[in-house]
Structure 1
């Protein structure tokens, strides 16, 4: 008998879908993340985007919320961020 638990399904559109992107703190990482996200979510409110440097300043995390319209949008966004080679994690 398996006790596998399915992840909760997201209902689209999701107005405040949270995303956290972690990468090296270099070459305007914050700007790169914002520009990439705006390709997939043009209505991104950049006044709500926050970032934080790691304790040693080597990494930076960028937190934002988008209006998620579907699985395809999220998959394409995550793939573009990861394909850059600048992103370590997308949560």
Structure 2
């Protein structure tokens, strides 16, 4: 028996969409741990989201201390806004992944 995906009610058009502006949009930034990594990330986030309070950021080291993740919540204004933030973070050369 062959099952068609549309029979299960799953279509690309039904994927959840973000409504902008989206307050408290979570962003997780992962990179190599170093002396200025967290400050560099926070500087970029503040430049792209002026309403962001750096004191609300969470950071966590990997079990071996090589990587650091910084979690922030911003007001996302558009897909372009999020794309610009992602690009700016990657251009630092310190960020490996943005989720």
TM-score, length of structure 1 as denominator length: 0.91
| Residue correspondences, number | 91
1:28 corresponds to which residue?
A: 36
Contact 2:31 2:68 in 1 (8 A): yes
SS of equivalent residue, structure 1 residue 57? coil
In the alignment, structure 1 segments of 5+ residues that lack a partner are none
Q: Deviation above 2 Å: which 4+ runs of structure 1?
A: 1-7
How far 1:17 sits from its partner (Å)?
0.2
2:22 corresponds to which residue?
A: 14
Map 1:1-91 to 2 at 5 A: 5=12, 7-91=15-99
SS of equivalent residue, structure 1 residue 56? coil
SS of equivalent residue, structure 1 residue 30? helix
Question: In terms of Rg, which structure is larger?
Answer: 2
TM-score, length of structure 2 as denominator length: 0.84
Contact 2:31 2:96 in 1 (8 A): yes
Cα deviations by residue, 1:38-88 (Å, 9 ceiling, x for unpaired): 111011022210100111111000000001111111010001111222111
In the alignment, structure 2 segments of 5+ residues that lack a partner are none
Relative to its length, the structure with more helix (as a share) is: 2
RMSD, aligned α-carbons: 1.5
